[in-house]
Amino acid sequence: MSVQVVRALLAAFFSALIALPVGYFVAVWAGWTLFCTGLGLQLAFHFRNFARLERWSRNPIVDPSLEGEGAWDGVFGRLYQHEKDLRGQIAARDQEIALLIAAGQALTDGVVLLDGDNQILFCNTTAESQLGLVVQTDRGQPVVNLVRHPEFVDYLLLGDFSRPLTLRSERGEDRVLSIYIIPYAGKRRLMQIKDVTQSDRLDRMRRDFVANVSHELRTPLTVLAGFLETLQEIDVDREERTRYLELMAEQSRRMQSIVQDLLTLSSIESAPPPANDVVDMASLIDKLRRDAEALSAGRHQIVVEADSKADLRGSEPELVSAFGNLVSNAVRYTPPGGTIRIIWHTGAQGGEFAVEDTGIGIDAKHVPRLTERFYRVDRGRSRDAGGTGLGLAIVKHTLNRHQAQLDIKSTPGVGSRFSARFATRRVVDV
């Protein structure tokens, strides 16, 4: 029996103890009156405390001034303590939840939590930007009402999540998302969204590259094999034989150029940062001029405009190959009679090496793609001019390695200007 009950019984017992002699010695009614008054006072006391308790239970705030009287003191004390503990636990749990939400927000992958009806319970900011959601307004909405991509809707509704879904963004950003759905806590689902745009692009580039290399090598190989077969099977005269051998040599040279350019590309791709030699620009430009004249064989006017005596810091073989590519392109894509300018200029902004021509020019739509491997405006023309389609890819890569920028300006039928801009720290004033 609790202390409070014992105390209440004792109070009733003492009322009876006082009322009994009064009833016996004074009058029975006086005894009863005294006993009933005692009990009534007890009842009033308990009723008062009960009413306070009832009032408090409607709004159980933690209030240290809340104290019971007499037997009620312990009850109020324990309730107060219980309420205080409960509030403490809720505050600690709120903090844990806030930390979990902060962890979810910190994830670089998108995360969306769905209930059993695929309604959004939570989504982090990464998922908001990936799927175009707004958590404040979209919480409680079925996710399929907001991400309406048919492939996504089918994937979610079919419920086979053994493989992730690859989704190409509908929002015109060319984004590729990989969506994983992980069921948890019964029918709930966790959507994990990875942005795989970069790896998808690399994958596509790798596939395209392999396909392009195979295609580029297959053509001259087919020609070579054809001539070889002819020579083996048919007895051709000496003149014809010489012509065939010349054509075969040409195809071999073509394959050699492709393989050489591929090797150059792969070596600069995997090489450590370029050397920091001081490249003598005067002699490099002189060599470029001589090479251009040899390639042009008198068909063009070659002009050097070097208004600076400064040199360049970088890898000499790489710069010779990159600048040489620009010069040979200018000669190959400029009809006879045209002019080719080799320009070297330095100033407060750094150094600029440029090659300008009065050649066939390039339509603006091709310019952003010129540095892609094997990209050519006119495949036949490039082949006839002895091109591999890798020259500008090598140029761009080399310039990147030297933290330089390639600018291309061109007007069809008027000419082109390819310029490489180097930062001041790469320019060495002589």
| Least distance between ligand ADP and beta carbon 262 (Å) | 12
323 contact partners, CB below 8 Å, separation of at least 6: 284, 288, 353, 355, 420
State which residue, 300 or 402, has the beta carbon closest to ligand ADP.
300
| Least distance between ligand ADP and beta carbon 356 (Å) | 9
State which residue, 178 or 325, has the beta carbon closest to ligand ADP.
325
| Least distance between ligand ADP and beta carbon 237 (Å) | 36
| Least distance between ligand ADP and beta carbon 331 (Å) | 9
Say if CB 111 and CB 190 are below 8 A apart.
yes
Q: Quick one: how far is CA 14 from the chain centroid? A: 83
CA distances to 54, 282, 304, 325, 424 from 307, in Å: 97, 11, 9, 22, 16
**Longest CA span, the chain:** 161
- Token pair 């409960």 is found at 86
State which residue, 178 or 382, has the beta carbon closest to ligand ADP.
382
State which residue, 181 or 355, has the beta carbon closest to ligand ADP.
355
| Least distance between ligand ADP and beta carbon 277 (Å) | 25
| Least distance between ligand ADP and beta carbon 389 (Å) | 4
73 contact partners, CB below 8 Å, separation of at least 6: 67
State which residue, 167 or 370, has the beta carbon closest to ligand ADP.
370
Cross-sheet strand order for the sheet of 405-411? 301-306, 339-347, 350-357, 415-422, 405-411
Q: Supply the DSSP symbol for 142.
A: B
Say if CB 107 and CB 124 are below 8 A apart.
yes
State which residue, 19 or 394, has the beta carbon closest to ligand ADP.
394
State which residue, 68 or 389, has the beta carbon closest to ligand ADP.
389
| CA proximity to 361, closest of 378, 347, 349, 373 | 378
State which residue, 311 or 356, has the beta carbon closest to ligand ADP.
356
State which residue, 178 or 329, has the beta carbon closest to ligand ADP.
329
181, containing H or E segment: strand 176-184
State which residue, 417 or 421, has the beta carbon closest to ligand ADP.
417
| Least distance between ligand ADP and beta carbon 188 (Å) | 54
State which residue, 325 or 419, has the beta carbon closest to ligand ADP.
325
Q: Supply the DSSP symbol for 159.
A: -
Say if CB 357 and CB 339 are below 8 A apart.
yes
Residues that bind ligand ADP (CB under 6 A): 325, 329-330, 333, 357, 359-360, 362, 370, 376-378, 382, 387-393, 416
132, containing H or E segment: none
- Crossing angle of helices 238-270 and 197-233, in 10° steps, is 160
Rounded distance between C-alpha atoms, residue 112 and residue 189, angstroms? 8
| Least distance between ligand ADP and beta carbon 379 (Å) | 8
Cross-sheet strand order for the sheet of 110-114? 120-123, 110-114, 188-195, 176-184, 165-168
CA distances to 253, 357, 370 from 407, in Å: 31, 14, 11
Count the residues in the chain. Answer: 430
| Least distance between ligand ADP and beta carbon 413 (Å) | 11
Rounded distance between C-alpha atoms, residue 361 and residue 377, angstroms? 10
| Least distance between ligand ADP and beta carbon 225 (Å) | 24
Q: Supply the DSSP symbol for 369.
A: G
Per-residue tokens: 317: 């073989």
| Least distance between ligand ADP and beta carbon 259 (Å) | 14
